[in-house]
Amino acid sequence: MKIFIIGYMHPKYDKRVFRTVKALSKDNEVIYQYWTDKEEIESKEGNIFYKPIKYEKNVKANPILKLMRRRKLDKKIVEMIKNYDYDIVYFHHFLASRPLAPFKVARRRDKVVIYDIHEYHPENFLNILKGFAKVLKEKIMWKIFERQLKLSDKLIFVSKETQKDVYKRLGIDKPYLIAPNYASISVESREKKKEISFVGKVTRNLANEKKIIKKLIERGFKFKIIGMDSDVFKDIPHEYTTFLPYEDMMEQLSKSAFSLISYNTIMDESYKNDIFALPNKYYDSIAAETPVIVKNTFVSMAKEVEKYGIGVVIDPNNVDKSVEKILKAYENYENLLENIKKYKDRFVWNEKKEKEFISFVLD
């Protein structure tokens, strides 16, 4: 079996994308297209044929101009889908300037189409748009998204809530698999500091979260950002690390008492890409035996946190109540750690999950 994996704008070793590459290449040939900003040549390693595509990201321009720049890149990928020899094409994202063409080309060639839906695309795509432009974009994107799903043979979702919401809205009935962003490794926590960590990218819409952190610092906690520093927290005493290799990041995270997972990608608490999110840092935190502090509007995460007793669900709009809940959880910290050790295998990628994934794609 030959599988063509479209990583699109994901870098070579993106955790979710490369996990699928490694799993499917164990007994099959895999052609792997990924993004790079460097001069890289095509190469082969084992069963994997690496197909880098260079593109300069973050060029300052409005979203429409960026989209036009993307056309040349997207055309190249469509030609690959049209001409390469494969049995299954596996999309990790759609092509921004040609969102339907790859699906149509693959179907015309009688190829099996797998669509791995990382985000809630109708809202997430061009999410900086506002007002009428936002409404129009979402209306168009829902129609495009529906066509993409109907042109696919099998669908993969990050969360059950996303799958249910999309199927209900569009009346879709397709085979699907729920494949969250599982942690890659499990870490045994050997020490715990009275510290709250924030992992990864920092958004700017964190006014209430900052108030909560300040009050917790007054109660003896320290605050750490793992992966980068940020001006957002310049008025709060904190430590930070630079970008760390995954294993080192997990080791740092395992030392913290809590991992804070509360943010606003855009200023809209009904934004479903956040509501139904199950980000890497959520799974990594549990795998590192660190209880999570999760925002109550993050439905998918909050449901699991309360079900398994592996952290605290807070309403950042109620600062005092949030602080009180965190302090109470810290008083009963051993119970949280006991629950995490009991359930953390559910949050880590393992052989059983890999076999289920491979079977879904190939059968």
Q: What is the pLDDT of residues 288-325, one digit of tens each?
A: 999 999 999 999 999 999 999 999 999 999 999 999 99
Over range 78-92, report the average pLDDT.
98
pLDDT number for residue 163 = 96
Note the pTM of the prediction, 2 decimals: 0.92
pLDDT score for 203: 64
Question: What pLDDT does 358 receive?
Answer: 98
* pLDDT over 60 (residue 266): no
Percentages helix, strand, coil for the chain, rounded to the nearest 5?
A: 45, 20, 35
Lowest mean pLDDT among 26-35, 51-60, 111-120, 229-238: 51-60
Q: How far is residue 164's CA from residue 362's CA, in Å, rounded to a whole number?
A: 23
All domains in the chain, ordered by first residue: 2-180+349-362 (3.40.50.2000), 193-347 (3.40.50.2000)
Task: Give the model's pLDDT for residue 169.
Answer: 94
Q: Does residue 226 surpass a pLDDT of 90?
A: yes
Residue (of 248, 243, 304, 314) closest to 279 by Cα position: 304
pLDDT by residue (tens digit) across 44-84? Answer: 999 999 999 999 876 666 767 777 778 889 999 999 999 99
Residue 24 near residue 3, CB atoms below 8 Å: yes
* DSSP secondary structure of 47-73: TEEEEEEE-----SS-HHHHHHHHHHH
